Chain A
Amino acid sequence: MNRRSFVRQMCWGGLATFALPGISFAQVKGNGRFVFVLLRGGFDGLAAVVPYGDGSYQSLRGGFAFEESELFPLNDLFGLAPGLSPMRELWQAHELVTLHSMAIPYRTRSHFDGQAILETGIDRPIGSSDGWLNRLLQVMAGRRSGIAIAAGMPRSLTGSFEVQTWSPTQLGAVDDAYLQRLGTLYRSDKALYGRFEAAVQQQDLIGEEPMARGGARRGGITPLMQAAAKILRQDDGPNIAAVEFSGWDTHANQGLAGGALDRLLGQLAEGLMAFRTDMGPAWANTTVVVMTEFGRTARPNGTRGTDHGTAGAGFIIGPRVARSAAFADWPGLADRSLFEGRDLTPTLDVRAALKAAIAGTFDLSRPQLDRVFPNAPEIRGLYDLMG
């Protein structure tokens, strides 16, 4: 039994009388890093982690059904969509857990409410002024710092714990002379000088190169993930990040292999692999979780797309995972098993998955986990997925 699982059993085995000599749990793990990737818009889990083994899959998805031969099989039930094939390497290296029939704990098909719930980590759209990532930073009490890699401050990182942001410049490049002169001006402002300098340093660190090399337009997935890696792999920089991408709200012309959604999934997969590469040795202690606010309808709609659904898929990626697994308490796609006759029925609460992911990365105590996700369910099977 390795030290980690021993410590965990102590926490939850009720052996309250035993005390570890002077080591706090958050320090037992090495230099853990955590990235929360939010795909805004409700990405179609059924077209990403494809339940080809379900007897109803072909008839339900009709023109949208993949052929089994197009998929990378994970087990008898699930296979990865063609766009996600770069992630085979993760599967083979035991760094990939796919999650399915997973949903937020509140029934809504509103992007705004769904994202609010996913990001605040509670069970309703209004009621928390901070995001769960910020609460994670709060319980880690200064041992970690956070950064949002987005054009806005994601709700998940909003809260009393101060976090940084970085976004690719969209307003036109600033030349060095101008920045230098501004730096001179900022030197006289004690409150702001440090922040301005930090911004300039971050900009230097990331540079214009990733944008050019990625070939993608600014804000494309791979350049952003590469920028994230540059920031996170530093020894003394932020180590909890939130990244977000949109474009997943595929109401029309979703496509099949090589179609619009599949290509976007391809960009996601490439971005994740590029991130893994650029993290270098720091990857060993890094976990990336990919989630979305809800899945999509099981049947296609009238415009060759899908509409807002309920349960969907997600990923936990990284060496912290015990072994690759396709995790799902699968409800099935038969008519009677669908939620409201149209969506995949949820059997897994996103918070349970997130709890396991952060527990496995930072070795948090139960009270700490409860502070991050108050009143959230726990599922032992998930904790076992993490090493």
Chain B
Amino acid sequence: MAPALRALNGFGLGARPGERRRVSDPRAWLRAQLHGGPPLLRAPVEATPDAIDEAIGVFRAAGQGTDQQRREARQQARRRLVGIAAAESRAALTERITTARPFIERLVAFWSNHLCVSIGAKILVAPLAGSYEREAIRPHVLGRFADMVLASAKHPAMLVYLDNLQSIGPNSRGARAGGRGRQPTPSPGSGGPRRGLNENYARELLEWHTLGVNGGYTQQDVQELARMLTGWTVGGLARPGRRAQAPRGRRQPGAAGRNDGEFGFAFEERLHEPGTKTVLGVKYAESGVAEGERAIRDLCRQPSTARFVATKLVAHFTGDAPPAPAVDRIAKVFQASDGDLHAVSAALIDLPEAWIDSARKFRTPQDWLVAMLRAFNATEVSDTVTAVLRQLRHPLWSPSSPKGFSDATTDWADPDSLLNRAELARTVARRLRVARVNARDLIDVIDVAAGDPLHTFLADGSIPVDERLALVVAGPAFQWR
């Protein structure tokens, strides 16, 4: 692939017509995007902290109950939560199609998927997924990996998604006093939700966020880590009725994680498992919320973490089979810089393996859709984009497991998907104002040989214009970045 296109499509989110000739020095174009600070995004008006807090409060107040009125109130509250997710999705996708820093936006999506939450798993994640990406991921994409993981660990979206907000130390004061009444009663015999320790988050933190499944931790480590993270919960959920009297605006919790009933991270000492814990052979003395913070920073420093993260990153930017020397190089930069993602991102740009002819990745549905809209010079996304991504099996912030979405060819290039893209390309081309882009200019965004039949099709006036546009984005060259 031509270097300019590798930069625009492989590192970026897709070339716009005419952009290719403006990128005379691809690496410099990418490096320039590293400047400008963290890629922050303002919350859409439907998703300010107040709006989210209120919608969640209303949902929880709607409560259980089987009569028609209560049921309808709950349905309406759910729709509001989903509406917030939709507004956030549109804002995030609009940013992807209009951004002047597409390399950085790609990194935002990468890290958001690496430390994923899932809207599909729990309704309460829906209003929080967008703010999760904005508040826990974006500020740290060019900062420190450990800071990102800590922010992720403390964000209500993650605490809800992987159940840590309900995790109670078996020997904590809260457990001995009977714990939170809301817990479902355990069923006799087989496994099920139990009042007490919940290992979900600790396990996924080790398996998918830091060390990786073969990173050298044991089940004992999972349990110990889970104990350290007891008490890490969400404040402001227990008594939704109080919200009306609470002061407006979200306060950041203090260092001790104290939270005066505002919605957000709260450390509840009462639920915290007392005592010394040992994770990966390191003893942590009892120290409240600081234990978990220390442990997370230590996990991020492990060589296994550097290797696990480097492997995923290199694969994302060079190809499904990441070359070992490239992984070594990135792991080294990660380790030596103590997880400085600015340095790591710069090192990715410098990987020779990312610029060789065979370097390419199959476009995931989100990649493909965003690239198509950029190629068509779109400036906004429509309401239907959520449904379209669901049809393409790649709904935003909704992977089916904490592993997140794959970016490998085998997971996306099935026959049915290619046909779906063909149909969708046609539909979008028909709906967009065709005058916005010239079919002959459009071929600029992909790499096709001189004799490729696409040139002939694009020059053939007997083929409808929308079909010619669709052929560009539905054809094989556009499926790769």
Contact = CB atoms under 8 A, between A and B. Distances in A.
Contacts of A126: 200, 203-204, 401-402
Contacts of B417: 165
B423 interface: yes
Contact of A167 (B191, B413, B416, B470): B416
Interface string B371-407: 0000000000000000000110100000011110000
A188 B453 CA distance: 9
A237 to B, nearest CB: 12
B414 A106 contact: no
Contacts of B184: 107
Interface in A289-345: 301-303, 307, 339-340
Nearest to A151: B391
Contacts of A141: none
Given A164-B415, A192-B413, A184 B453 contact: yes
B423 A171 contact: yes
Nearest to B452: A188
A178 B413 contact: no
A203 B423 CA distance: 13
A171 B470 CA distance: 14
Given A126-B200, A192-B479, A202-B416, 10 more contacts: A107-B192, A108-B192, A151-B391, A155-B400, A172-B426, A178-B470, A182-B471, A196-B418, A251-B71, A307-B66
A178 B68 contact: no
Given A171-B424, A191-B409, A105 B467 contact: no
Given A108-B193, A112-B122, A172-B426, A202 B415 contact: yes
Interface in B189-236: 190-193, 200, 203-204
Closest 7 CB pairs of A and B: A107-B192, A199-B415, A189-B476, A302-B66, A165-B416, A185-B475, A107-B187
Contact of A182 (B410, B449, B474): B474
A124 B471 CA distance: 45
Contacts of A307: 66
A17 interface: no
B415 A339 contact: no
B427 A185 contact: no
B193 A185 contact: no
5 contacts: A152-B393, A155-B400, A165-B416, A174-B419, A182-B422
B240 interface: no
A123 interface: yes
Nearest to A197: B415
B357 interface: no
A16 B476 CA distance: 53
Contacts of A106: 190-192
B427 A172 contact: yes
A170 interface: yes
A185 B418 contact: no
Contact of A195 (B187, B415, B475): B415
Interface string B451-481: 0111001000001000100110011110100
A158 B419 CA distance: 20
B261 interface: no
Contacts of B391: 151, 170-171
Interface in A184-209: 184-186, 188-189, 191-193, 195-196, 198-200, 202-203
A153 interface: yes
B414 A252 contact: no
A173 B427 CA distance: 10
A112 B120 contact: yes
Interface string B108-135: 0000000000001110000000000000
B420 interface: yes
B475 A169 contact: no
B414 A165 contact: yes
B245 interface: no
Contacts of A172: 423, 426-427
A203 B71 contact: no
A110 B400 CA distance: 14
Nearest to A307: B66
Nearest to A119: B400
Contact of B423 (A153, A174, A193, A200): A174
A27 interface: no
A241 B203 CA distance: 32
Contacts of A24: none
Contacts of A129: 401, 403
Given A123-B191, A126-B402, A164-B415, A301 B409 contact: no
Nearest to B412: A153
A174 B409 contact: no
B453 A195 contact: no
Output the residue of A124, A178, A307 with the most chain B CB within 10 A.
A178
Interface in B76-135: 120-122
A116 interface: yes
Contact of B418 (A123, A173, A177, A195): A195
A181 interface: yes
Output the residue of A123, A126, A199 with the most chain B CB within 10 A.
A126
A171 B428 CA distance: 10
B120 A199 contact: no
A155 B121 CA distance: 14
A216 interface: no
B267 to A, nearest CB: 24
A166 interface: yes
A277 B276 CA distance: 66
B422 A174 contact: yes
A108 B121 CA distance: 13
Given A105-B190, A165-B415, A302-B66, A181 B457 contact: yes
A192 B71 contact: no
A384 interface: no
Given A107-B187, A172-B427, A203 B419 contact: yes
A302 B416 CA distance: 43
A165 B411 CA distance: 11
B425 to A, nearest CB: 9
Contacts of B454: 185
A185 B471 contact: yes
A379 interface: no
A179 interface: yes
A216 to B, nearest CB: 19
A196 B423 CA distance: 13
Contacts of B122: 110, 112
B67 A302 contact: yes
B191 to A, nearest CB: 5
Interface in A228-255: 251-252
Interface in B422-452: 422-424, 426-427, 449, 452
Contacts of A70: none
A162 interface: yes
Contacts of A193: 476
B56 to A, nearest CB: 18
Contacts of B477: 185, 189
A252 B75 CA distance: 13
A198 B415 contact: yes
Nearest to B476: A189
Contacts of B420: 167, 169, 171
Interface string A115-131: 01000000110100100
Output the residue of B120, B121, B190, B471 with the most chain A CB within 10 A.
B190
Given A153-B393, A195-B414, A179 B422 contact: yes
A352 to B, nearest CB: 13
Given A170-B391, A172-B423, A192-B479, A301 B66 contact: yes
Contacts of B416: 164-167, 199, 202
Contacts of B193: 107-108
A146 to B, nearest CB: 11
Output the residue of B190, B413, B476 with the most chain A CB within 10 A.
B476
A221 B424 CA distance: 24
